[in-house]
Amino acid sequence: MQPINLCIANSAGSLNAHLDIVTGAFDSSSAHASKLLNANGIDVLIVDAPDETIPEWGVGGYTWGPHVMGKNWPGFSVVVLDR
């Protein structure tokens, strides 16, 4: 089984304040996804993209293509790349 990988795009350090929360949420949710949904072979990419957030909702989302889906929260977005 291929793992679920966490990839944090943080070379500028803009997500440093969120790393503990992100990694904790990833560890918990990926364990549940693997166990309950047999999810595997997924790259989860964390990107600092607050401009993609829908202000009225405080969240957002977009799909770049058939193998990518994204979900935004204020301050960062989460993108799932399906290999």
Tell me if 81 sits within 8 A of 69, measured CB to CB. Answer: no
Q: What is the pLDDT of residue 41?
A: 87
Give the chain as a 3 state SS string. CCCEEEEECCCCCCCHHHHHHHHHHHHHHHHHHHHHHCCCCEEEEEECCHHHCECCCCEEEEEEECCEEEEEECCEEEEEEEC
Q: What is the pLDDT of residue 81?
A: 46
35-73, pLDDT tens digit by residue? 988 888 888 878 787 777 667 766 665 556 666 655 555
Instruction: Name the residue range of residue 15's domain.
Output: 4-82
Tokens for 22, please give them. Answer: 């992100």
pTM of the model: 0.67
Number of structural domains the chain divides into: 1
Average pLDDT of the chain to the nearest whole number: 76
Q: What is the pLDDT of residue 59?
A: 63
| For the chain, percent of residues with pLDDT exceeding 70 | 64
